[in-house]
Amino acid sequence: MIRRYQSPSIQPRRRWATDVRIFIKVLSCILPVTAALAWLWTDRRLPDGAKLAFAGVAATWIVIVARNVQREFLRHIRTLTNLVECIRLRDYNMKGVHARERGELAELYRELNDLVDGLKASRQGEQELLSLLETVFSQINVAIFVFDARDRIRLVNRLAGSLLDVATLTVGC
């Protein structure tokens, strides 16, 4: 793992876990509104217009915080969706950078990154074996056919290819 150089005099910024940040945002929305509603309920001398204005400010605050929570949540959902799509398409170059954070969501990113690393290593080993197999196949002077479990031809050597009039070493996918 390659680490970036960090100056010893500069401390890395510590972030709270995503679930904690979302909880604090929701709590920051609930507490002021609850206090405001309690105050409005008990204060009889405040004019109705002021109560409505204060209720409007509280409702605006709820919308702002809810939108912020939604954006943060959707950002993580999009990132995870992109990671899963890259894995499905066998593109193992993308990683979740949020794995360095703390919390349950960061654990999910770490697990996905570990899955990508395992699949990448497996793919590399498979490519090395295929390369070795192709080298051996090209040296054998007998027609060789390799079939999969469904009896489809998956691999042929040069002589078998000339019998079938196929130019490539692999057939089908």
- Tens of pLDDT, residues 16-65: 666 677 777 777 777 777 787 777 778 788 787 877 787 788 778 878 88
Q: Is position 6 within any domain?
A: no
Phi, psi of 108, rounded to the nearest 5 degrees: -65, -45
- How many separate domains does the chain show? 2
Q: Is position 165 within any domain?
A: yes
Q: What is the pLDDT of residue 156?
A: 80
Chain centroid, CA 80 distance in Å: 3
In terms of domains, do 42 and 88 share one?
A: yes
C-alpha 98/C-alpha 76 separation (Å) is 9
In terms of domains, do 99 and 147 share one?
A: no
In terms of domains, do 57 and 91 share one?
A: yes
In terms of domains, do 36 and 114 share one?
A: yes
State the sign of the Cα–Cα–Cα–Cα dihedral 115, 116, 119, 120: negative
In terms of domains, do 149 and 114 share one?
A: no
Q: Is position 122 within any domain?
A: yes
In terms of domains, do 145 and 115 share one?
A: no
* Predicted TM-score (pTM) above 0.75: no
Q: Which of 127, 149, 165 is the last residue of a domain?
A: 127
95-115 tens-digit pLDDT: 777 666 777 788 888 888 898
In terms of domains, do 110 and 159 share one?
A: no
In terms of domains, do 116 and 33 share one?
A: yes
Domain region containing 164: 140-173
In terms of domains, do 113 and 167 share one?
A: no
